[in-house]
Amino acid sequence: MTEQYFKKFRRGIIGHNLQIPTPEGPKPMIYADWTASGRNYAPIEERIQKEIMPLVANTHTETSTTGMAMTHAYHQAQKLIKQHVNAAEDDLIITATSGMTRLINKLQRILGIRMHEHQCIQLPPENERPVIFITHMEHHSNQTSWLETLATVEIIEALPNGLVNVDHLDVLLEKYQNRTTKIASVTACSNVTGIITPYHQIAQKMHRAGGYCFVDFACSAPYVHIDMHPAVEKYGAGAYLDAVIFSPHKFLGGPGSAGVLVFNQKLYKKHIPDNPGGGTVDWTNPWGKHKYVEDIEAREDGGTPAFLQTIKTALCIHLKEEMGVENILKREHELVDILWEHLQDIPNVHILAPQHRDRLAIFSFYIEDLHYNLGVKLLNDKFGIQCRGGCSCAGTYGHYLLNVSPDQSREITDMIDQGDYSTKPGWIRVSLHPTMTNQEVAFIAKSIATLAQNFEQWIASYDFNPKYNQLTSPNRVVETKIKMQIEHILTTNFIDNIPEKQPSRRANAAPGKVASKDFVIERLGKS
């Protein structure tokens, strides 16, 4: 049983034994929103605070002790991240922002297919524009961003069972065979249902047609192997990935980390960086001349980089590797079995994509006659369960999952355009993590069953306006108190809390060792 194996990792989660205030008094907090964001991990925070932060300085120098240490730590962290995704020598890495959304937009700008909405340029003929193939399961970040480019966007059809119809990609490739640039940009896993897509198979088809394959690992990166260049004997020839993108804030230990984009150098055809600035030029002069650096990774890393965030990314990836992907996936499947066995017997609870049990531990469901946001609020107030309601930023997939017809969709969107959200579809999403206990998962299932049975009498005390999707709790004092505490945290002076004399530190190293590159590498990779 892998539950016991993960207990030692569970102990390091900040807030795993937290009591939260609710309208019914303090309750143990049960975090079931891992697909949205992970949780901070005390050993990572402690290592950064005690062993990295004493050496903090800006990067872009090798001459001062602190500058050298941070520059090396930053580049070493990026090296470890590239190793984790099995990047090749000609693959480039960009670590920036907080996650996938801004990086997919950056990649589109690097490709030269984004333009400002008010920019007046002559568009190329349609047959010269790129074509982008996406699945029906995409997060909005991997759909709407492409819709704002010069490209034609096509959705690969779904099979009757709801999975990706890979054969339809052949039809689309035939249709667009004369397009110079063909890209499949697909999710590795649905953030709604936890279903894995056949992205390596899609990559093979794209490469045979002279195209590229980009994969969004935002949902599944904390749990699966990411292999940009798999062995031929595993999938066959051409299964490599041209770009991968993910959001490490979804990892255990990940909040506060940097987003990751790794892509092949052949995609880069620019001379001007996306963000010109410090660190991107070899020289400038007073007469308007300048020369950008040849190193592409440096050229696309203008200004002070997200070095602390990137170091944290490397550390939470190291934690993932320490837990072991095989152990993680085994535990994920155990959690799926536990929750599924309970939920499938509740008559008015409907799991989305119920025919697919082979998934990561992500459950989206709806309860008949209960608005999803009201359901989420009741799970919080009555049971302390932290989950999420809405369309999970996957409205297109929602059409497939809920069988929304074109006419129904038009009626819904017309009402939304008028400011009325009362008919906007959605669901309650519960997402689990290997560090959760069987008891916690059983409690979540029991709580959902209790909610499904009793919500009609509970909602009487809530003021909910579905038109504006506004919800007021019966006891607003609790929410007001929490908000006031947050405001106090953000505005309290620091000086009164600083000890008169701080202990002298040597960053846990002997004199001289603190400046050693080997020391930095050791601390990044220490278990």
According to the model, what pLDDT value does residue 124 have? 81
- Between CA 380 and CA 73 the distance in angstroms is 40
- Residue 93: strand pairing partners: 262
Mean pLDDT is lowest, of 6-20, 161-175, 392-406, 453-467, for: 453-467
Distances from the Cα of 445 to the Cα of 165, 294, 342, 432, 440, angstroms: 33, 56, 6, 12, 9
DSSP string, 96-163: ESSSHHHHHHHHHHHHT-B--TT---PPPPGGGS-EEEE-TT--GGGTHHHHTBSSEEEEPPBPTTSS
- Confidence check: pLDDT of 3 > 80: yes
Closest CA to 352 of 362, 338, 342, 360: 362
**pTM (predicted TM-score):** 0.93
According to the model, what pLDDT value does residue 90 have? 98
Task: Give tens-digit pLDDT for 297-317.
Answer: 999 999 999 999 999 999 999
- Between CA 33 and CA 494 the distance in angstroms is 32
Topology of the domain covering 47-321 = Aspartate Aminotransferase; domain 2 (3.40.640)
Closest CA to 188 of 154, 214, 152, 157: 214
**Residue 406 CB: number of other CB atoms within 10 A?**
8
Domain boundaries, the chain: 2-31+324-486, 47-321
- Asked if residues 363 and 375 have their Cβ atoms less than 8 Å apart, the reply is no
Q: Is residue 30 very low, low, confident or very high in pLDDT (cuts 50, 70, 90)?
A: very high
- Confidence check: pLDDT of 520 > 70: no
According to the model, what pLDDT value does residue 512 have? 42
Distances from the Cα of 215 to the Cα of 186, 187, 232, angstroms: 5, 6, 19
- Structurally, at CATH architecture level, domain 2-31+324-486 sits in Alpha-Beta Complex (3.90)
Residues 6+ positions from 285 with CB-CB distance below 8 Å: none
Strand ranges in 383-524 using DSSP code E only, listed in sequence order = 385-386, 388-390, 427-431, 463-465, 470-472
Q: Is residue 120 very low, low, confident or very high in pLDDT (cuts 50, 70, 90)?
A: low
The dihedral built from the CA positions of residue 443, 438, 322 and 102, taken in this order, carries a sign that is negative
Q: Is residue 511 very low, low, confident or very high in pLDDT (cuts 50, 70, 90)?
A: very low
Residue 38 amino acid letter: G
- Between CA 27 and CA 29 the distance in angstroms is 6
* DSSP category for residue 503: P
Q: Work out the average pLDDT over 64-82.
A: 97
Mean pLDDT is lowest, of 86-100, 317-331, 427-441, 467-481, for: 467-481
Task: Give tens-digit pLDDT for 246-282.
Answer: 999 999 999 999 999 999 999 999 999 999 999 999 9
- Name the phi and psi angles at 228, rounded to 5: -70, -25
- Confidence check: pLDDT of 425 > 70: yes
Q: Work out the average pLDDT over 472-486.
A: 85
- Asked if residues 428 and 375 have their Cβ atoms less than 8 Å apart, the reply is yes
The percentage of the chain sitting over the pLDDT mark of 90, rounded to a whole number, equals: 84
Closest CA to 229 of 135, 90, 75: 90
Mean pLDDT is lowest, of 4-13, 66-75, 95-104, 501-510, for: 501-510
Q: Work out the average pLDDT over 457-479.
A: 84
